[in-house]
């Protein structure tokens, strides 16, 4: 199929440039933030919220919840959301005084009212601590350097494998290894945290580490698996096709949403590196196009997982792959995309607008049933602002990077 470059001056109606669409994105971001303002507890923790904004029964606060809230409200501060500092302050205090393990170092996965609920030390959670510290640093938080320095030391000592150029996944509380599992998910979010750290500090070591992870997954692995990325690996980084763990965090096979996410991160890394003459944009495009081709469902939305050959395994339609697809396509368009990219951008936002966004109360429904109605089979309530907020803000960023010095427009 012949694709028309979006740089063609004949095309002036691109949604990324449309003032009406850009204003809608900004308003949607603010509506989400207003909804999640209600999650802050008196003790400084964050409750999970039901669809109507009421508080769900507590079952421990997980590290990725605490850290993503800090990051999300740092973005909220950029767009002038009132009360963002209050949310950042609460999250930073909770990470430092509740999740931080003063006995063994590192950060505990889950805390409840009685203390430690789950004491494992996961790379997945620790790289989100780095993301929170970096975003808080960009937002000018007074405790950001303290958190940044501490998490850097923990990542260097325990999680970063310099020989492999990848992250180890999991340890017991005292950092004794309890498995040899290696995975895509923690490393992908490691790239996210490393790029945020580079943006916050200018230290090229973070850019280099992110690049090493991206080269492994988007070049060596994806190119050998028809531009799909297996999720699970052995200790020596061989694909483990038989592994299946937690159905949300570690599903079997491949996850198209992760292909979209890591493709966007590859474009961000390329952009922050000065847009060198590499194959990064080509690799990102192949990952994005393959994921959308494989996973787009007949009635819209993206299937959650695929079998290794690309057939759909788990067809459940969740909110976060759609959010990541929007961010990935928007980033691709900023490199000089095609009208097919524009069609996908519109299709994805149309689906999100009609099926996922709660226009009355704010936030996104996490799942869509086969009949197109919201459901809560895997995710209770509205569990997350991080993915959906970024879907609204990546298109507004001046460049590919989410947190560039130009920030987001105060109005659009």
Q: What is the mean pLDDT of residues 194-222?
A: 98
CA distance 352 to 319: 8
Predicted local confidence at residue 179, as pLDDT: 96
Predicted local confidence at residue 246, as pLDDT: 81
CA distance 312 to 377: 19
Q: What is the mean pLDDT of residues 244-267?
A: 93
Binned at pLDDT 50, 70 and 90, residue 4 comes out as: very low
Binned at pLDDT 50, 70 and 90, residue 398 comes out as: confident
Contact, 258 vs 194, CB < 8 A? Answer: no
Predicted local confidence at residue 406, as pLDDT: 43
pLDDT higher than 50, residue 5: no
pLDDT higher than 50, residue 330: yes
pLDDT higher than 90, residue 98: yes
386, 410, 383, 319: which is closest to 131 by C-alpha?
386
- Phi/psi-derived region of residue 60, left when phi > 0, alpha when psi is between -120 and 50, beta in every other case: left
Listed in order, strand segments (DSSP E) in 157-203 are: 160-161, 166-167, 170-171, 182-183
pLDDT, averaged across the chain: 93
Q: What is the CATH number of domain 15-396?
A: 1.50.10.10
Binned at pLDDT 50, 70 and 90, residue 408 comes out as: very low
Stated pTM of the model: 0.95
Binned at pLDDT 50, 70 and 90, residue 400 comes out as: confident
Share of the chain above pLDDT 70, in %: 94
> How long a stretch of residues is the chain?
412
- Report the alpha-carbon angle 359-363-367, nearest 5: 100
Share of the chain above pLDDT 90, in %: 88
pLDDT higher than 70, residue 270: yes
Q: What is the mean pLDDT of residues 35-54?
A: 96
Q: pLDDT digits over 62-71, tens only? A: 999 999 999 9
Distances (CA, A) of 218 to 110, 309, 391: 31, 17, 22
Q: What is the mean pLDDT of residues 167-185?
A: 97
User: Around 172, how many Cα atoms within 13 Å sit in the side-chain half-sphere?
Assistant: 5
Q: pLDDT digits over 101-147, tens only? A: 999 999 999 999 899 999 999 999 999 999 999 999 999 999 999 99
Predicted local confidence at residue 13, as pLDDT: 78
Predicted local confidence at residue 12, as pLDDT: 53
81, 99, 141, 258: the active-site residue: 258
Binned at pLDDT 50, 70 and 90, residue 403 comes out as: very low
Of 90-104, 125-139, 140-154, 393-407, which gets the smallest average pLDDT?
A: 393-407
Is residue 387 annotated as a catalytic residue, yes or no? yes
CA distance 317 to 332: 23
Q: What is the mean pLDDT of residues 168-191?
A: 97
64, 81, 141, 387: the active-site residue: 387
Is residue 269 annotated as a catalytic residue, yes or no? no
């Amino acid at each position: 199929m012949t694709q028309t470059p979006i740089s063609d001056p004949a095309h002036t109606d691109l949604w990324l440039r449309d003032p009406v669409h850009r204003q809608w994105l900004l308003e949607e971001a603010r509506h989400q933030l207003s909804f999640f303002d209600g999650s802050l507890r008196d003790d400084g923790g964050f409750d999970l919220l039901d669809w109507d904004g009421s508080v769900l029964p507590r079952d421990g606060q997980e590290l990725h919840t605490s850290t993503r809230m800090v990051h999300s409200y740092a973005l909220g501060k950029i767009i002038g959301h009132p009360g963002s500092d209050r949310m950042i302050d609460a999250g930073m205090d909770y990470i430092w005084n509740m999740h931080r393990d003063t006995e063994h170092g590192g950060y505990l996965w889950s805390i409840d009212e009685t203390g430690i609920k789950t004491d494992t030390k996961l790379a997945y959670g620790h790289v989100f601590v780095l993301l929170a510290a970096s975003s808080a640093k960009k937002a000018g938080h007074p405790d950001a350097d303290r958190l940044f320095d501490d998490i850097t030391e923990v990542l260097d000592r325990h999680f970063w494998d310099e020989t492999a150029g990848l992250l180890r996944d999991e340890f017991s509380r005292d950092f004794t290894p309890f498995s040899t599992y290696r995975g895509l998910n923690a490393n992908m979010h490691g790239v996210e945290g490393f790029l945020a750290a580079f943006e916050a500090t200018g230290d090229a070591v973070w850019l280099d580490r992110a690049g090493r992870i991206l080269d492994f997954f988007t070049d060596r692995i994806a190119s050998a698996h028809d531009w799909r990325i297996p999720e699970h690996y052995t200790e020596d980084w061989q694909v483990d096709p038989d592994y299946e763990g937690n159905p949300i965090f570690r599903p079997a096979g491949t996850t198209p949403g992760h292909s979209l996410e890591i493709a966007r991160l590859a474009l961000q890394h390329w952009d922050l590196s000065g847009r060198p003459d590499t194959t990064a944009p080509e690799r990102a495009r192949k990952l994005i196009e393959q994921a959308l081709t494989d996973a787009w469902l007949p009635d819209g939305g993206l299937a959650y997982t695929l079998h290794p050959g690309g057939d759909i395994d788990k067809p459940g339609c969740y909110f976060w792959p759609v959010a990541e697809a929007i961010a990935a396509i928007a980033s691709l368009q900023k490199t000089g995309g095609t009208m097919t990219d524009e069609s996908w951008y519109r299709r994805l936002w149309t689906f999100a607008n009609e099926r996922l966004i709660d226009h009355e109360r704010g936030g996104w429904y996490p799942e869509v049933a086969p009949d197109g109605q919201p459901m809560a089979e895997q995710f209770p309530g509205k569990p997350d602002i991080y993915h959906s907020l970024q879907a609204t803000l990546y298109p507004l960023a001046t460049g590919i990077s989410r947190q560039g010095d130009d920030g987001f427009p105060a109005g659009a």
